[in-house]
Amino acid sequence: MRWVLVVVAVAGCGGDDAPCTYNDHGYQVGDVWPKGDGCNSCRCTTSGPSCTQVACADAGVSLACGPSGGCPMGPVCGALCCNAGEKCVDNVCYCNTSPHCPTAGDSCERAGPVGSDGCGTVCCGVSGPCPQ
């Protein structure tokens, strides 16, 4: 007689295309999105979605490229959070005129003083030094 052990694990995760599912949206490991309460965010981890549990309060002034809607670094943009210095245009995060910084680990920084909107203009960091 032979025994076969089958283990199935399901905990808020989908297939390889979208390892995390939250409110009917699929996310990749490392993605950050607004929780939906206006002040918390969630991150897709290898063990599933993980959300902050911060008490909501009036955040005051919101910058076009600053944290908003529960996103910790940049503005809420559809079902995702933009990175610091990025702006949301038609549900796509942009650094200046390019969607997202193409090199992992880069950030969207401003060449010179940060403008009143908090938006960056150049991707830098891993791909090259950031402007001072």
Domain that holds residue 76: 20-124
pLDDT of residue 113: 60
Query: Which amino acid is it at 101?
Result: C
pLDDT of residue 2: 44
pTM strictly above 0.85: no
In a domain, 83, yes or no: yes
6, pLDDT greater than 50: no
CA distance 32 to 41: 7
* Cα 45 to Cα 7, 13, 25, 69, 124, distances in angstroms: 21, 10, 15, 21, 25
In a domain, 117, yes or no: yes
Decide which of 92 and 16 is more confident: 92
Q: How many domains does the chain have?
A: 1
In a domain, 13, yes or no: no
Supply the mean pLDDT for the chain. Answer: 77
Strand partners, 44: 49
